[in-house]
Structure 1
Amino acid sequence: MSTHSLTWLNDQLLPTSQALIPVNDHGLLYGDGVFEGIRFYQRRAFRLPQHLQRLQLSARAIALEIPLSTDELTTVIERLIGSFADDGYIRLMVTRGAGQMGLNPQSCTRPNVIAIAIAIAIAIAIDGEAILLNGQGRVAEGAADNIFIVRNGRLLTPPCSEGALEGITRELVLQLAQADGIETSEQPLGVYDL
């Protein structure tokens, strides 16, 4: 098996090109599912318990029962990571599963659990990053990351109420800054504050 990209799909570890789900999966048809993006470094998942807790909360919010326990999901992630020599990324998804056309989720009887792992290098610099604004024109976040600004020795970031993802890395950055004696502030930011 290639370790460039592997997929765990419902108890099978496969090359990603061989992993298939039915076209009538409600995750594909209607976006009915939940996901987490998890980085791993030196064969260790970054803050895996927090990611799995957020996955469970997301699933609960849409009344989706994940067919694996947290311990089983941890084993899946660790098995995938063990197949890689480099740092990488895992996209963990749970879809509603195959069902009849239409929005009624009751026709879906078996959720699909999918974990795709790819080897990626740590990004040193990001070119072309988009800054997302909320409905009031204030800064919410980046396309794939949270926004932080250092001004006058203070670490500033938009609050989640402005549309920023309640990111696991975001929380850690704020905790580390505070532990290091750096003043932090969650406050609305305009584009001219950047």
Structure 2
Amino acid sequence: YALVSITLSDKNLSKKFLNFKNLEKISITRKIITSGKNKYFLNGKPISPNKVLNFLYSINININNPHFFVRQGHIMRIVRMNSYELLQTVETAFGIKLYSIKKKNAISLIEKKNQKVREIGNLLINQIRPQLNVLGKSDFIFQKKEFFKTKNQKWTFLSNLTNKGKKKFTLFSAEKKEKN
């Protein structure tokens, strides 16, 4: 394997490393294994490549930036750039482009989530609400049926009581006539 390390020092106490306020030195190591795999370490601890890039961006070091320094012979190319190309170069050099890309990705993600919310809202309105209305009507009909069933049972009970009362009255009347 091969190892490459860089040590960054921040002895100026007013400008501490982002998220590493108690450290004056930070060591970044890349280990290249013979199989072609890369491993990254921050102060000896394993870390993902994205976290290394984000850390370097946070301290204004863009390793993917071709304009971090101007190579010999390229100054004329920069001088001949139009305003848009120059703006792109400056944004890349200062790391603004990274945040613009992240902003565009975040906006795209928000738009996708909003579209999904609209689809779910349409699903609720067009499919679920009508089913709820049908179920609500069915429940209303069922409750009415149960109400009338209960009423019918009460009427049947009262009717039976009345019939028994009538029979007893008839028997009582018949007995009274026999005695007289």
| TM-score category of the 2 structures, normalised to the smaller one | under 0.3
> Larger C-alpha radius of gyration, 1 or 2?
2
- Would you tell me which structure has more helix in proportion to its own residues? 2
- Would you tell me which structure has more strand in proportion to its own residues? 1
Compute the TM-score of the two structures, normalised by the length of structure 2: 0.25
